[in-house]
Structures are given as C-alpha cells and as structure tokens.
Copies of this chain bind each other. A is one copy, B any other.
C-alpha cells in the first residue's frame, strides 16, 4: 500500500564486504544507512528528551506497539495527534508489531492461525491480537514504518515448532499486507526460522515474493552465540532484494552492528545503549567503562575525551558520584553518551564504506575494544 515519499537509494557499495551506504526516505525525512534506531518503548527514549536525542545524531526512533497499545492505548495516542506529535519527534518512527513482547512479556493464553490472546502485563486485561489488528493499531499510531505481527518462539527449539511458527508468520505477513490502508506507512515483514538455514531461506524467499518496501530479520540475539547469528545472516541476507532496506531486529553490541553491516544490514535497534547507560556502563572506542567502580571516584577525565556529548563535559568522578547518590542525572547523561557513541560508530561506518575501507575500519574498532579501559 505504502508509496508516498518512500525510497531507498544505495549510494555506495563496499568492495570487499556486503556493506552498503545509502539513504532511506520516509514521509518524515531521510535516514542515512546503515542506521541505529534508539528505542523509545513507551513513547520516550528513557531519560532523554527529544532535543537531546536529536543531538546524539539519531534520525529515526523505534516505539513499541505492545506497550503503547496497553498504555495509554492507540486511541489516546491518535487523539493526541498521532505518535509524532505525542512524542514531539518530527523525524521518522518505526513501530514494532508487538509480536516479540506478546511472546516475551505477556501471559499468553492461546495462539492459533487467527491470532494470539494474552493478558496485559499492566492490568491483566485479556487482549486479542490478530495480524489485522496489529496493522490497525500501528495505523492509528501513525508510524512511518510498521512491522507485521509474527509468531516468535524461543531458541533453541524443535525444528517442527520453528517451522510452524515461521509458516504462521508468513501467512500473517500476507494478511498484514492485505490489511494495510495508509499510503504514508511502509510495512516490513520479518524473516523467521531460528538458526535453520532451510527455514530461513524459505521464509525470506516467500516474503520476497510478496514484495515489501523493506525486510526485517527477527528471532536473533536471543541468547545464541554471536557466531550463530552471523551464520544466519550469511545465508539469509543474500535472499533479500538488494534494493530494499534490511533491518536486523533487536541487535545489539557495537561489534554485532559492524558484523551485521558487513553482511548487508541497513537498520538496527537495541536497548543496549540506554539500558546499560542507566546501569552506569559506558561504551567507548577503547572498551566499556563501569562508572560505579571505585577507581573513578577522583578521576577528572571524561568518559571519552574524543566525545562531545553532554556527559563527556563532566569528569568520570562526577558521573560516578551521580550513580552512587542515586541521582537521575547519572542515567540521563550516560544514556546520552551511549546513544552518541552508537550514532558516531554508525556515522564512521558510513564514511568508511563510502571510502572503501570498511574492513580496515572494523579491524581498527576491534583493536580499540580489546584495550578495555577497566582492565588496562
């Protein structure tokens, strides 16, 4: 259905890897890819106002349909002008479908081809979610990119269970596509199939036949070893159309982003920078820094002398004090720092791709991370 204002342009293709640098256009503006999307679960990136979020370099934000549908409800968001006005974010927004949360947070009651019944983790209400309803909710929210409802199963799992869930997700993707009515909202389907090459390939190829604006890869980074995730990308990404954006859901660590980019991924999201930031863990080019450590108590140096974020105008000693004293400003500043770090990493990755030196860029980054400032 979607057509207005969407477009994906590959500006440069790396010579040695599948990495590509491009631009994805949406009704609320363009996204330079590969891109990292901060997670604004309940309509806010925790502890970061939208002005500060923009300053980190973020161009697109993710919000969670599951959480917003339960509280305050999609009708309320719609009555308050839609998700962009609600959050005060005028850039692109992607909403997930709620599938992952239904299977990870909710008390599930029943699942069949029609959809899934679950109890709200907020107030215990029995809720009925079908593919059509998932699309309708996201249309009310008004995000630029909506995700299909998928059937997520835990890993590891029996091949039969994985195959069933994957094929149900395929049927649901088709129903989501048929249900979509907004021309200003793109829908991305989600490739499933666990760690099984045949299932992943079947999922990807059948979704490609349905011709979506972009494609997501789901069900990864759920506890499997990173090498397994990379292996799945190795045989899945090549089955996706070159001229559409590819989104690796819920991933991940800085190294995972670079490994994903090298395999042709364009979009990422993860709570890692914000969740770790709230827990006093900072990401830097030379490894992670645990601000709660005693060693930082009189440290006048910033977390990262090369970073110009708000947190890095302060000493490590001050940041440690904020965490020790239980002050909100600690989580706020370190969330900003980590988001800034992720955005800088992606901006540098885009530059490296454009300059045909992505492989050496990844090697440099890895060398930096090995010098972990906590152990050196």
Interface, chain A (partner B; CB < 8 A): 42-44, 46-49, 51-52, 67, 71-72, 76, 79-81, 85-88, 297-298, 300, 310, 313-315, 317-318, 320-322, 324-325, 327-329, 331-333
Contacts and interface: CB of A to CB of B under 8 A. Distances in A.
Copies in the complex: 2
Given A47-B329, A51-B310, A300-B80, A72 B324 contact: yes
Contact of A321 (B71, B297, B300, B310): B71
B79 A317 contact: yes
Given A49-B329, A86-B315, A332-B328, A44 B322 contact: yes
B42 A327 contact: yes
A43 B315 CA distance: 13
Contacts of A79: 298, 300, 317
B43 A318 contact: yes
A90 B43 CA distance: 34
A48 B87 CA distance: 19
Contact of A318 (B67, B88, B310): B88
By CB atoms of chain B within 10 A, which of A52, A315, A318 has the most? A318
A125 to B, nearest CB: 15
Contacts of A72: 297, 317, 320-321, 324-325
A332 B332 CA distance: 10
Minimum-distance CB pairs A-B, first 10: A44-B329, A80-B317, A47-B328, A42-B325, A79-B298, A72-B321, A44-B327, A80-B315, A86-B318, A88-B314
A317 B80 CA distance: 7
A7 B189 CA distance: 68
